[in-house]
Amino acid sequence: MSATLLYALTGCALFALGLGATVLVTEPLRRVLAFNVMGSGAFLVFVGLAQRAGVSDPVPQAMVLTGIVVAVAATALALALIRRLERDDDDAR
C-alpha cells in the first residue's frame, strides 16, 4: 500500500468518525468539531487520490485550498449561531 493510499484511507476513517460523532454527540460545539473532521477527511481523500499516480495533480489541491477557507468561515458562522442560541436560552430562562 503506497503512502498516498494510506492517507486516503485515513480520510475515509476520519469522515466516518466525524459522521458517527455528528449523530452520537448532542453538544453543539462538538458537532462543529465533527463537521470539521468530516471536512478534513474529505480533503485527505481528494489529495490522496490526486497524488496516487505519482504526478502532482493541482486541480484537487486548489479545490481543497478553497475548501479549507470555506470551512473556517462556516465554523465561525456556526459558532456565532451557537452563541446566539445560548443567549436566547439565557434570556428565555
Does the footprint of another protein cover residue 92 (CB under 8 A)? no
- Number of helices and strands (H, E) in the chain? 3, 0
b/e per residue 67-93 (b: at least 16 CB within 10 A): eeeebeeeeeebeeeeeeeeeeeeeee
Number of residues that bind another protein (CB under 8 A): 73
How many Cβ atoms sit within 10 Å of the Cβ of residue 49?
16
User: Could you say which residues in the range 41-60 bind another protein, by CB under 8 A?
Assistant: 43-45, 47-53, 55-59
Residue 86 engages another protein in binding (rule: CB under 8 A): yes
CB 60 to another protein: min, Å = 8
5 touching another protein, by CB under 8 A: yes
Q: Which three cell numbers stand for residue 6?
A: 494510506
Task: Kindly state the smallest distance separating residue 85's Cβ from another protein, in Å.
Answer: 9
Q: Would you count residue 30 as binding another protein (CB under 8 A)? A: yes
